[in-house]
Amino acid sequence: MKKKIFLSVTAILLIIGAFIAYKVFGPAVSAKGEGPKYLYVKTGSNFNDLKNELKSNNYISSTVWFGRVSQALKFKTVKPGRYKLTDGMSLFKLVRMLRSGQQSQVNLVITKLRTREDLARRAGNLFECDSLEMIQFLNNNDSLNQFGVDSNTVMALALPLTYSINWNTTPKKILQHMHMAWTDFWTEERKQKATGLGLTPLKVSTLASIVDEETNKAIDKPKIASVYLNRIRIGMPLQADPTVKFGLKEFGLKRIMNVHTQKPTSYNTYLNLGLPPGPICTPQASTLDSVLNTPKTDYLYFVASKEFDGSHVFNSDYDEHMKYAREYQKALTILLDSAKNK
């Protein structure tokens, strides 16, 4: 009799143990669907907020066992972040991940951005901080001073790279990541090359941004840089059309006319001598090196080829340059008129 009772109790305990083990270590998280699923825990969230977030998104069917496992693992302090969930994840793994704050970072991919507002929007779509917080930081010279930039030059720090950053980050930390990449890029060798051109790293970025807006053709970039450096050397206005577009914030302009070049802005290089106050886009690293390795030329002029193949015609003679400029303008007029008639 005693043996039967013992066996019955043992069986019951084994069943209870198996049930508990299944609840703790068995599949508990539902994260089905296309692509990875993420749990976003906002800064300032408490334990109840976390449970509600899991339940409202149907990641777990009940918060009871989540609470029990959390209590057993002494998980009390909620750490904000972006946590990757896998379908069938156990409560044990889920709680241990949340307790350790083992979040999945966000990839901030910078390709070509023109304005601070562009960067703020990109960050606001990816991180806990919104675009308003980001633009306020980017517009605040007191905040930017620690990075050696101001609101005009800050976009120089946004090298076209992929930055892996925690979701619950701040604008300041985003800039810290960019500044570290910027510091790594500007080796002593590159700094010496910039000095040899009479430029600072920030001015190299500004010039490179103009070059990047002028062409995508890598072979022409050093020569375009040489034109602008030659103009700076002799005190000639850069007369760079992309800077006019930037100053007017009319990036879709196909043809720059007198009405545009006569509008005063701090970025109008028809009216102002030298480089503009800061970059007009985020230049590629290869373009920065194109500027740093600019060949010595006597070029003062260049114009896009009438073949519209992305190449340019370079010249040191103004009359010769105007001949090619007229050819290009004629071809452009025909092209635009043809587009209108379609």
Tell me if 73 is assigned to some domain.
yes
Tell me if 5 is assigned to some domain.
no
pLDDT higher at 142 or 28? 142
Tell me if 151 is assigned to some domain.
yes
Same domain, 264 and 181: no
**CA torsion angle 80 84 87 90 (round to 10):** -50
**Given the structure tokens 């007017």, which residue do they identify?**
248
Q: What is the pLDDT of residue 254?
A: 81
Is pLDDT of 280 > 90? yes
State mean pLDDT over 261-266: 96
What's the chain's length in residues? 342
pLDDT higher at 306 or 201? 201
Q: In 10 A of CB 234, how many CB atoms?
A: 7
Tell me if 76 is assigned to some domain.
yes
Tell me if 332 is assigned to some domain.
no
Domain C-terminal end among 81, 100, 119: 100
Same domain, 82 and 122: no
Q: What is the pLDDT of residue 329?
A: 87
Q: Give me the helix-helix angle, 64-72 and 2-25, nearest 10°.
A: 100
Q: How confident is the model at residue 33 (pLDDT cuts 50, 70, 90)?
A: confident
Domain of residue 284: give its range: 195-299
State mean pLDDT over 188-216: 97
242-268 burial code (b ≥16 CB/10 A, e <16): bbbbbbeeeeeeeebeeebeeeeeebb
At 69-92, the pLDDT tens digits run: 999 999 989 999 999 999 999 999
Q: In 10 A of CB 8, how many CB atoms?
A: 10
Same domain, 64 and 34: yes
**Given the structure tokens 């701090």, which residue do they identify?**
266
**Nearest one of 278, 267, 263, 280 to 238, comparing CA atoms:** 267
How many structural domains does the chain have?
A: 3
Cα–Cα distance for residue pair 197/182, rounded to 1 Å: 19
Q: What is the pLDDT of residue 4?
A: 67
State mean pLDDT over 169-194: 97
Same domain, 271 and 254: yes
Average pLDDT along the chain: 92
At 177-188, the pLDDT tens digits run: 999 999 999 999
Same domain, 287 and 208: yes
Same domain, 200 and 294: yes
Is pLDDT of 13 > 80? no
Is pLDDT of 300 > 60? yes
Same domain, 204 and 290: yes
Q: What is the pLDDT of residue 334?
A: 82
Q: What is the pLDDT of residue 310?
A: 84
Domain C-terminal end among 100, 123, 153: 100
Same domain, 205 and 279: yes
Tell me if 155 is assigned to some domain.
yes
Same domain, 164 and 259: no
| Percentage of the chain modeled with pLDDT above 90 | 79
State mean pLDDT over 158-169: 97
State mean pLDDT over 295-305: 94
Domain C-terminal end among 59, 83, 100: 100
Q: What is the pLDDT of residue 332?
A: 82
Same domain, 34 and 79: yes
Comparing 52-56, 179-183, 201-205, which segment has the lowest mean pLDDT? 52-56
Same domain, 203 and 274: yes
Same domain, 202 and 281: yes
Tell me if 233 is assigned to some domain.
yes
State mean pLDDT over 272-298: 96
State mean pLDDT over 257-263: 94
SS3 322: helix
Is pLDDT of 9 > 90? no
Cα–Cα distances in angstroms (integers) from residue 205 to residues 237, 282, 301, in the given order: 18, 8, 21
Q: What is the pLDDT of residue 333?
A: 83
Tell me if 15 is assigned to some domain.
no
Say which CATH number the domain at 65 has: 3.30.1490.480
